With several copies, the nearest count.
Chain A
Amino acid sequence: MMSPSGMQLPREELVRAYRMMCDIRHFEDSVHDEFAAGSIPGFVHLYAGEEASAVGFMMHLNDADRIASTHRGHGHCIAKGCDVKAMMKEIYGRADGLCGGKGGSMHIADLTKGMMGANGIVGGGPPLICGAALSAKTLKTGGVAVAFVGDGGSNQGTTLESYNLAKVWNLPAIFVVEDNRYAESTASAWSVGGSQLKRAEGFGMPGRKVDGHDFFDVYDAAAEAIGRARNGEGPSLVHVETYRYYGHFEGDAITYRTPEEEEQMKTQKDCLKIFSQRVTETGLLDASALEEVEAESRSLIEQAVAEAKAAPAPGPDKLLTDVYVSY
């Protein structure tokens, strides 16, 4: 069964995809600036540059489908439909942030949207996704579950075990390896023995490699893998080649890669630019429509920052609550 290609998407769906990518980009750019200005605390990992990956997958998912994210979670969160203003408040540690200010950037989550959380533990997500996929299978919801994991995270035993468990239990699970070339300062060219696709084969799963800068390439691979899962045909792996624009975390001096490489990736492989080119050249959308989306997105994020700045911190009574459901 061939899934319809992303190039056949109706106009409003293309707008939705572009809007999500813009929201992510603006969100991350703003957080970058705000962090530099000292108004955001903690460890913050930005997804700018990788937007097409999250959006290419999430276009296929609904609230009943689940995802598990990584420490670099804002993009997955936005694409999965989490409230952007509540997200920004969370990153500022505010009382009405998505997690009441208790989680912050690394633990942002919204279970009602099927977003099972960013994760401070590299490789923390894939086992959880086996569980979400098991729920979908057992409760026959028709849902699927998607684990995002970095190139670095692809070497964690928890991830590798999950490949096997998903295969053996024939789960509706998809493992997306977002290979942005580095894990902190360490190159994936060095840290990954063998290859992502051969590993998929090693555990008996179909694997496919995609250009993560091209929304349409991601979209099509996602359609195939997710379709397979929905049909009860078990797990798949998708290897997404991508690039992060900022440092590993905010504050990183980025000594391990060259400015030339960054420059080249940003000018030649930017997923937003590639998307606009593809849709304008083929006449699917026109430039003015894209500009409008851009502007709306920018203003939403500006508002989100302004509201987050003005929002109150959680009161001291919140320190001791929410450890247990029943005490």
Chain B
Amino acid sequence: MSKKTYRQAINEALAQEMRRDPTVIFMGEDNVGGMGAPGEDDAWGGVLGVTKGLMPEFGRERCLDTPISESAFIGAAVGAAATGLRPVAELMFVDFMGVCFDQIFNQAAKFRYMFGGKAVTPVVIRTMYGAGFRAASQHSQCLYPLFTHIPGLKVVMPSSPYEAKGLLTQAIRDDDPVIFFEHKVLYDDEEEVPDDPYTLPFGEANLTREGDDVAIVTLGRMVKLSNEVADKLEGDGISCTVVDLRTTSPLDEDTIIECAEETGRVVVVDEANPRCSMATDISALITQNAFGALKSPIKMVTAPHTPPPFAPELEDIYIPTPAKIEAAVREVVAYSREVVA
């Protein structure tokens, strides 16, 4: 056990799985870095240094740089997964999915079903998401709802270093195609993380706080913000459960429904754009399955229906803030329902 950053946790999970299983390889643009260049051989480790140091240990055969051709190399990872390797491919920013989505949603996601259960495609696509870097409209999106919509994909949203290591280890060992979402603002976050390999299960949400009044259902970076709000409100006598979904596909429906039933009041916090989002997904799930227990409307806190703006002043109000989460929680607590029966 030692303090590790989110970046280190991911790097360590990768290294340990590569040690354990010689069929694990990784690839991506500048993922090693410096391919064909006069400078250092292991210069970058990916654009934010996440895979730095792996190439010297595992060599160029298992650590592949790629040309800028996402369809070809993400597709190659998919094809390699269907033929005996367990590739971890990096889609640098999830915003780039538009040039390679076919290989993900029509190929990887559907092989098993289309081929009558006879395919196994253990590919992991690591990708960066989220706002907060002043990276503007094409480098700040969330987009996990698009992947969650697609049957056949598993979608993983680690909220902290501990979560990242355990979930990535599971992702690499999992036999289905997994999209692994790393929040760019979390890379330098630090916490205690076991040194040995461990897995965290898919489809089992994690309660980071338990309370009686309101359930905050959330994911990814928003877990941290929601915990802050829960801690603050505890002082004001409002006791919150915080549900970290961990994976949006599979989704831990039971835990969500239970928490909704126990509290009767729910706020969903989702960094993505609001339409056809995880916020609506969770809300609709609860309304269909726990309606009788609801004491108030389910409030959604999300980004607005706009692309991410560049100007810091705009981006700061684009992202859901603790203040907005708090307001939503207070609102559902204050709600008192007229009886309609």
Q: Chain A contacts of B313 at CB under 8 A? A: 93, 313-314, 316
Asked if B310 and A320 sit within 8 Å, CB to CB, the answer is no
Any A CB within 8 A of the CB of B23: yes
Minimum C-beta distance from B156 to chain A (A)? 14
- Contacts of B98 on A, CB cut-off 8 Å? 121
Q: Mark A201-231, 1 if CB is under 8 A from B, else 0.
A: 0000000000000000000000000000000
Q: Assuming the A-B contacts A138-B85, A186-B35, A322-B113, are A123 and B68 also in contact, with contact meaning beta carbons closer than 8 angstroms in the complex?
A: yes
Complex: chain A residue closest to B306, CB-CB: A323
| Chain A CB within 10 A, most for which of B67, B78, B136, B307 | B67
Say whether B115 contacts A135, CB under 8 Å. Answer: no
Interface of B is mostly: loop
Tally of chain A residues near chain B (CB < 8 A): 84
Does any Cβ of B come within 8 Å of A53's Cβ?
no
Chain A: which residue is nearest B79 at the CB level?
Answer: A131
Docked complex: B70-111 residues within 8 A CB-CB of A: 70-85, 87, 95-96, 98-99, 102-103, 106-107, 110-111
* Residues of chain A within 8 A of B66, CB atoms compared: 165, 168
Least CB separation from A183: chain B residue: B68
In the bound complex, do residue B80 and residue A101 qualify as a contact, i.e. CB atoms below 8 Å apart?
no
Is A93's CB under 8 angstroms from B38's CB? no
Whether B314 pairs with A120 at a CB distance below 8 angstroms is: no
Q: In the complex, which residues of chain B have a beta carbon less than 8 angstroms from the beta carbon of A138?
A: 25, 61-62, 80, 85
Cβ-based interface call for B29 (8 A): yes
A187 within 8 A of B: yes
Known contacts A42-B136, A185-B37, A319-B306; A135 and B83 CB within 8 A of each other = yes
User: A165-205: contact bitstring with B at CB < 8 Å (1 yes, 0 no)?
Assistant: 10011000000000000111111111110000000000000
A273 located at the interface, meaning its Cβ lies under 8 Å from any Cβ of chain B in the complex: no
Given contacts A101-B116, A103-B136, contact A191 B36 (CB under 8 A): yes
Given A131-B82, A134-B76, A161-B67, 5 other A-B contacts at CB below 8 A?
A102-B115, A103-B310, A121-B106, A256-B43, A318-B314
Residue positions of A touching B, CB distance < 8 A: 41-43, 66, 68, 93-94, 97-104, 106-107, 109-112, 116-117, 119-124, 126-132, 134-136, 138-139, 145, 152-153, 155-158, 161-162, 164-165, 168-169, 182-192, 254-258, 261, 313-314, 316, 318-327
